[in-house]
Amino acid sequence: MTTKTKDVKATLDEHLRDLRMPAIRDGYESAARRAAKNDLGYEEYLLDLVDQESQMREQTRIDRVLRQSKLPLEKDLGSFDLKRLPTKLVQPIRTLLDGSFVARRENVLVFGNPGSGKSHAVCAIAQELVRRSGGHRKVLFRPCSLVIQDLLVAKRDLKLTRLLKRLAGFDVLVLDDLGYVQHDREEMEVLFTLLAERYERGSIMITSNLPFSKWEAIFKDPMTTAAAIDRLVHHSVILELNVRSYRLEKARKTGKEAPPGG
């Protein structure tokens, strides 16, 4: 390598570092050799480099959005056993993976007994929304009991409007285990406020062990219950996972007691 070549390489590396193009910086020499070997033109060589940079940035964006989503990443599509589900449920779940329901601001409501795979299903779908959009769709996962506490603290500190605005920045909110823990009226009021704010503005994915007929136990009075259900169901996909507990089946095979949850 001549002194001139070294100077060009050093200057190019410095510029690419300043421009924050690590994939091009790491790959331009090997790409140049491929271009020479395959007799590629300048534009094709440049396209090769830009493709590498674009792919790296997309993966970095996906990884960042998934970290910020707080989704349990072990509950992904690869580890979700679709064969356990009735055939009539498999196609709706596959359809949800394309994310068109998000564009229509529809909700996804998943019901079933503990251990039926509700949480795993919505987490797997939510992860795919992020991955298949290249990280452009933002998702937030929160157990319902924790998001209620977040809302209560914000209300107490006179910051509820600010929190609701921040939550509105997510394309999808995943609220896990609605009704699993009983809450008082004030707690349900802030949850209803969140549901009302999201109505026709952004998608919510909810899991619950309780059918609609028992939601009055959640929202404490018939009118609030009816209003909450109306807002959620108006634009929604409803899945009922009436299958045996996956955790119970696994526990029986291993001789261990199944943990609680959905």
As a whole number, the mean pLDDT across the chain is 89
Q: pLDDT grade, residue 86 (50/70/90)? A: confident
| pLDDT reading at 75 higher than 80 | yes
Angle between helices 118-132 and 87-96 (to 10 degrees): 30
- Among residues 154, 165, 147, the alpha carbon closest in space to that of 206 is found at 147
Report pLDDT for 262: 61
Query: Dihedral sign, CA of 61, 62, 63, 67?
Result: positive
- 23/101: higher pLDDT: 101
| pLDDT reading at 258 higher than 60 | no
Q: What is the mean pLDDT of residues 202-215?
A: 94
Q: pLDDT grade, residue 46 (50/70/90)? A: confident
| pLDDT reading at 3 higher than 90 | no
Distance CA 155, CA 10 (A): 55
Could you tell me if 221 and 188 are in contact, meaning their C-beta atoms sit under 8 angstroms apart?
Answer: no
Give percent of the chain with pLDDT exceeding 70.
90
Q: pLDDT grade, residue 255 (50/70/90)? A: low
Least confident of 31-35, 68-72, 190-194: 31-35
Query: In sequence order, which ranges of the chain are alpha helices (DSSP H)?
Result: 3-18, 22-37, 42-69, 87-96, 100-103, 118-132, 144-156, 160-167, 185-198, 216-219, 222-233, 246-254
- 249/227: higher pLDDT: 227
Please give the domain boundaries of the chain with CATH numbers for all domains.
3-67 (no CATH), 71-254 (3.40.50.300)
Q: Cα-flanking dihedrals φ and ψ of residue 193, to 5°? A: -60, -40
**Pairing status of strand 172-178 against strand 107-112:** unpaired
| pLDDT reading at 25 higher than 90 | no
